[in-house]
Amino acid sequence: MDLHALNIFKSVAEKGSISQAARDLNYAQSNITTKIQQLENDLQTTLFYRNNRGTTLTSKGKVLLTYAENIFNLIEETVKVMQDNQIPQGPLSIGSMETTAAVRLPSLLSKYHHEYPNVDLNLKTGPTQQNIQGVLHHELDGAFVAGPIDHPELTQKTVIEEDLVLITDTVHPPLSSIKDIQTRTLLVFRSGCTYRAKLEQWLHDEGITPNKIMEFGTLEAILGCVSAGLGISMLPYSVIEMHLQAGTIKHHSIPNPYGKVETIFIYRKDTFIPTSLIKFMDMFCEERNAFEHSISIQ
C-alpha cells in the first residue's frame, strides 16, 4: 500500500474536506483527488461520500482510518525505538489536570528539566476525560488524571490520594448538609472533570438539582469567583490550602465516598516506553515517596 496516499487519505478524513487537506499538505486539490481515487481503485471500495459541504467517510473509510492511525502510530513508535539510546532526549508530552499542574508538578517539572535538558518536555492541561483520550490517541505519552481508571489499553500508577472539600466565600455560614447549597451557583471545570462529576453525583444522589452551573477553564478563575461570592466549588484540599491560610476562601468537609479521589498517572500498555518517560515516572515516584515519608514522621 502507498503510504503517501494513505497519509493523504488520513488528512482528508480528519479535515472532512479535500480543499482543507490540500491547504494543510500544500498540494493541489487535483493531486489530492487523484491520490484518493487511486487508493479507492487499489482497495476496490469507496472511502468517501462527496457532497457540497466536503467529504464524509463511508463505513469502509472509517475502518481504513482506524488502520491508518495505527500504521502511522507504529511508524512513529519505530522511529522512537531506533533513536532511543537510553539517554533521555527528544519530545515528551505529558497531560495533567489543572489542579495537579498547579500544586503537584512545578517542582517535579523544574527538577526534571534541570536533570534532562535534552528532553523537550511539553505539559498540556485539561480535564481527566480529555487527558485519557489524549493518551489513547497517542497525543500524550502519559497523563495525570483522577482515578481509578479501568481501561484495557492503559496502565496506571497511583500518585496520591486527595481529600476533596467544598469551598465558599469567607462569609458563608457553616454547612449542615448538601441541601444548604442547593440555591448556590456551582463553579466548575468543563465536562470531563472528575471533581465536577463527583459534585454532580453527590447532588443527584441527594435529589438536588443545581440552581445554575458556570464552567471555567482555569483554577485561578474558579478560586477568584468563589472568593468574590459568585458561587461554590469542589476541589482538593491541597489546591486551596494556601488560599485558606490567606483567608480568601472557606472550606467545608465532604462525607465519603464523595470526599476522596486518587490522582494517578496513566500511559499506554502496548507502546514502547522511551527512556525520557521512564525517567519521568521514576522521578515522580521518588517525589511521592519523599512526600509520604515526610508526612509519616510529622
pLDDT tens digits along 114-134: 999 999 999 999 999 999 999
Judge if the upstream peptide bond of residue 148 is cis by omega within 30 degrees of 0: yes
Q: Cell digits for 43?
A: 482497495
The second-level CATH assignment, the architecture, of 162-260 is 3-Layer(aba) Sandwich (3.40)
Contact of 170 with 245, CB cutoff 8 Å: no
User: Which pLDDT score, from 0 to 100, does residue 298 have?
Assistant: 42
User: Which pLDDT score, from 0 to 100, does residue 297 have?
Assistant: 45
pLDDT (tens, 9 = 90+) of the chain, 298 residues, equals: 789 999 999 999 999 989 999 998 999 999 999 999 999 999 999 999 988 888 999 999 999 999 998 898 888 888 877 877 788 999 999 999 999 998 889 999 999 999 999 999 999 999 999 999 999 999 999 999 998 898 999 999 988 888 999 999 999 988 888 888 888 899 999 888 999 999 999 999 999 888 899 999 899 999 999 999 999 999 999 999 999 999 999 999 998 889 999 999 999 998 889 999 999 999 988 877 755 544 444 4
Give yes or no on whether 85-161+262-296 and 162-260 have one common fold: yes
pTM for this predicted structure: 0.74
Give the residue carrying C-alpha cell 493531486: 31
C-alpha span between 39 and 18 (Å, rounded): 14
Domain limits, the chain: 3-82, 85-161+262-296, 162-260
User: Which pLDDT score, from 0 to 100, does residue 262 have?
Assistant: 92
Q: Cell digits for 224?
A: 477568584
User: Which pLDDT score, from 0 to 100, does residue 211 have?
Assistant: 84
Contact of 39 with 47, CB cutoff 8 Å: yes
Among residues 18, 1, 135, 151, the alpha carbon closest in space to that of 68 is found at 1
User: Which pLDDT score, from 0 to 100, does residue 230 have?
Assistant: 95
The second-level CATH assignment, the architecture, of 3-82 is Orthogonal Bundle (1.10)
The second-level CATH assignment, the architecture, of 85-161+262-296 is 3-Layer(aba) Sandwich (3.40)
